[in-house]
Amino acid sequence: MGRITDTRDQIMDKAAELLMQRGFNGFSYRDISTHLGVKNAAIHYHFPSKTDLALALVDEYQQTLRNQTSAFMAYGGPATPQMEGLFMFTESQFCMGRCICPFGALAVDFDDLPDEVRTATEHFMSDSVNWLTRVLETGKEKSEFNFKGDPAQKALGILAMLQGARQMARIQGTDILKAVIKQIRIEIGLNS
Amino acid sequence: MGRITDTRDQIMDKAAELLMQRGFNGFSYRDISTHLGVKNAAIHYHFPSKTDLALALVDEYQQTLRNQTSAFMAYGGPATPQMEGLFMFTESQFCMGRCICPFGALAVDFDDLPDEVRTATEHFMSDSVNWLTRVLETGKEKSEFNFKGDPAQKALGILAMLQGARQMARIQGTDILKAVIKQIRIEIGLNS
DNA sequence: GTGTATACTTACCTGTAAGTAAGCAATGGA
DNA sequence: TCCATTGCTTACTTACAGGTAAGTATACAC
């Protein structure tokens, strides 16, 4: 049964959710297999080790990021929609139960992460920071935004803020995430 | 051997370190016991369950926070040293290997945390936000600081930023934490 | 010296984690 | 029709998690 590799995709989906909810060491193959109604070994068939699974996930994130930002990275363009996209993405992911961001999920277990996953995570993070830096530069040039400090540093700050906010929101509810996004808006002079 | 309860303190110390490095589910009694050169059951003697240990840790954090801020909370006072204290504390803790902040450590595993620990974490977080809000209010009133947005919202933003920064710094090194703190300084008009 | 509390150790239990080896059922060529 | 590949399942193994029960050594109280 099942189309080409339906199961593989379902595994990735559930794993992505669990990774962001509980971190790399916070979920097991069992969590995935029971949810899909398959046996544990079925997961091992598609992803022999948990490392393989993690690598596939980081790869997927990075792919998604690149796809959604490639046009902007290549030709520039208005920065506001990029920024709004980031806010929307963050909020909607949180509401869907995918609580902490991929960096956060992997950062907690960073020491005992397999080397390859570590490297992949570093790359993913660089990509994200570079993209946001570019957005902020563009936004400042075109007077869409108005903020203090240099764009690269500000980009780090914003990503850190969103990441932290997602975690704090887990403890005390969604309002915190909303408040933080509001604050970011104020600080870059983006009137909603 | 051992003074009154030397071992108990050593357990708390190591546990605090491990909690902040790896999250609540990322360390085991074994990690602590082998480090101290005692048997596993010795830890259970002092803290029957891991819940008890977590509660003790959160309690300790909260106690420390209250001790260090009680004078300010009671009588107000200059806000700048409080802020500088937060920065110093954050940086020094990070350098000592205690990487992610207590919220972060507990947020990742928040779903499957025992109820009591959850409640304690919520309280601890409220305390922290309240304190920082107070600091920002005072700083604004006395023109020590100069920032956009309302103090409570800004307090959330700063805490989120520091928390996120600690995690990102794990992935890409201390510089990120330093950059973020610099950015916070700029944004509250605090010239170092 | 007897008793009792403290601070452990030894030895164990149950559950669950990641991972593997071998088998089987369906599909799609040659 | 045979055969190989794909996508699983069954049935394990090893390691380690949290936790417990019972015993032991030391110290101090009376």
Residues touching nucleic chain D (CB < 7 Å): A 1-2, 4-8, 38-42, 45-46; B 27-31, 40-41, 44, 48-51
Residue nearest to nucleotide D11 (CA to C1'): A41
CB contact under 8 A, A167 and B104: yes
CB contact under 8 A, B180 and A107: no
Tens of pLDDT, residue by residue over A98-112, are 778 888 888 888 888
Tens of pLDDT, residue by residue over A40-69, are 999 999 999 999 999 999 999 999 999 999
Residue nearest to nucleotide D12 (CA to C1'): A41
Which pLDDT value is given to residue B114? 87
Q: Which residues of A61-87 are buried (b: 16+ CB within 10 A; e: fewer)?
A: bbeebeeebeebeeeeeebbebbeebb
Cα dihedral across residues A13, A18, A19, A21: positive or negative: positive
User: How many angstroms separate the CA of residue B11 from the nearest CA in chain A?
Assistant: 21
Which pLDDT value is given to residue A192? 60
Tens of pLDDT, residue by residue over B65-87, are 999 999 999 999 899 999 999 99
d(CA A172, CA B51) in angstroms, rounded, equals 20
**Could you give the residue ranges of the DSSP H alpha helices within chain A?**
6-22, 29-36, 40-46, 50-75, 80-95, 102-108, 115-141, 151-172, 174-188
Picking from B104, B109, B121, the nearest residue to A22 by CB comes out as B109
CB contact under 8 A, B179 and A156: yes
User: How many angstroms separate the CA of residue A185 from the nearest CA in chain B?
Assistant: 10
Which pLDDT value is given to residue B72? 96
| B161 pLDDT higher than 90 | yes
How much is the mean pLDDT over chain B?
A: 92
DSSP one-letter code for A111: T
Rounded to 10 degrees, what is the CA torsion of A6, A64, A23, B110? -100
Which pLDDT value is given to residue A104? 83
Are A18 and A24 in contact, with CB atoms under 8 Å apart? no
CB pairs under 8 A between A and B: 168
Mutate to test the interface with A, among B99, B110, B167, B176 (most CBs of A within 10 A): B167
pTM of the model: 0.93
CB contact under 8 A, B183 and A111: no
| A173 pLDDT higher than 50 | yes
Nearest alpha-carbon partner for B8 in B47, B39, B57, B64: B47
Q: CA–CA distance from A78 to each of A29, A96, A141, B164 (Å)? A: 43, 28, 10, 27
CB contact under 8 A, B25 and A21: no
DSSP one-letter code for A78: -
**If you count them, how many residues does chain B have?**
192
d(CA B65, CA B77) in angstroms, rounded, equals 17
Are B46 and B2 in contact, with CB atoms under 8 Å apart? no
User: How many angstroms separate the CA of residue B171 from the nearest CA in chain A?
Assistant: 6
